[in-house]
Homo-oligomer: A and B are copies of this chain.
């Protein structure tokens, strides 16, 4: 309950911006527009220099890599705790992932120039952004290990938990086809895993929707990766 309350508060603003000194925070808000994260929208393109950074207030954005043979794999998810567009201040020539909205919500959108200027001018802004980036690296590392070691069922459970944390709703809306793209698997394999989790009573599902029924049960079926990544982001946000 207390945790619930904390979350509600946190959701009023992006956690990264919220952690900035008042002055910088206000500045960030003034130089951003509120942007609606619409389901399925591709907000950043692979092989392109990002024009904008996004600081989600609510919602989830997946970073997806497409391999030449066709399959796509999600390498990370960003929500309230972070931002999309790190390539802007990391000095990347281009970035290689697509960023796609998975869970509807809203975000502050800031131009690349603005972000870069803020990053270079203010030490605290820089410090926060780099701390997040480091946590993000850990997330991607964990995903790399997870993809090698854990099976569909555990990975699906993990993904649902991460998504639910970010959309802040018990239902998660998406087709299993789409989910298969995230998990780098066949629709049929995903379906099997969905049914197993449902048989275990931790989720319910219908067309285009999965709902979490037993959160802690689901946590029990997810691989360790979920808890690890959660902890890393918590630590990154604390000062």
Chain A residues in the interface with B (C-beta under 8 A): 63, 65, 67-69, 71, 73, 75-76, 86-87, 89-93, 95-97, 120, 123, 127, 130-131, 133-138, 140-145, 147-149, 183-184, 224, 228, 232, 235-236
Chain B residue nearest to A71 in the complex (CB): B149
On chain B, the residues within 8 Å of A68 by CB distance are 224
Distance to closest chain B CB from A121 (angstroms): 12
Distance to closest chain B CB from A2 (angstroms): 23
- The quantity of this chain's copies bound in the complex is 2
Given A65-B141, A91-B134, 9 extra CB contacts under 8 A: A86-B134, A90-B133, A91-B127, A96-B138, A96-B141, A96-B142, A97-B141, A136-B137, A137-B137
Distance to closest chain B CB from A155 (angstroms): 9
What is the predominant secondary structure among interface residues of chain A facing chain B? helix
On chain B, the residues within 8 Å of A75 by CB distance are 140-141, 144-145
On chain B, the residues within 8 Å of A135 by CB distance are 92
* In the bound complex, CA of A143 to CA of B145 (Å): 9
* In the bound complex, CA of A130 to CA of B142 (Å): 21
- List 18 contacting pairs A-B, 8 Å CB cutoff, sorted by A: A65-B144, A67-B145, A67-B224, A69-B149, A71-B148, A73-B149, A75-B141, A86-B134, A87-B134, A90-B133, A91-B131, A91-B134, A92-B134, A92-B236, A93-B235, A96-B142, A140-B144, A147-B148
